[in-house]
Amino acid sequence: MLTMYGIKNCDTIKKARKYLDASGVAYRFHDYRADGLEAPLLQGFIDTLGWEALLNTRGTTWRKLSEETRGAAHSAAAARELMLEQPAIIKRPLLCSADGSMLLGFSETIYQSFIAEKS
């Protein structure tokens, strides 16, 4: 079983979910806003992917932050705290398989390969 993490109103999440649905792939959607984000789960993401990969510095949430807050997110600990406070700042979608492998972002080609590998 796959789990997709993100926020439901994200356009990229919508594309990824549409792709999975059209492909008949079973998955569970975890909305950070509705379902929350626990520190141990985020730490697992960081341990696997690295905080730099997870921190979305190109999105609206990042741009709305104060210069001081953005400047403080320069270490794993600071970025982790920021992501816990504002999960919308995490790049998405994050697709996780039961074996612990993770895929960040969306591309039909990459999803196709990832899903084939997990089947």
pLDDT tens, position by position, 20-54: 999 999 999 999 999 999 999 999 999 999 999 99
Residues labelled as active-site residues: 10
**pLDDT tens per residue, range 95-106:** 999 999 999 999
How many degrees, rounded to 5, is the angle at CA 18 between CA 50 and CA 5?
30
The model carries a pTM of: 0.94
Question: Are residues 77 and 69 in contact, defined by beta-carbon separation less than 8 angstroms?
Answer: no
CATH 2.40.340.10 applies to domain 2-118: no
The sign of the torsion formed by the CA atoms of 36, 17, 52, 69 equals negative
Domain parsing of the chain, residue ranges? 2-118
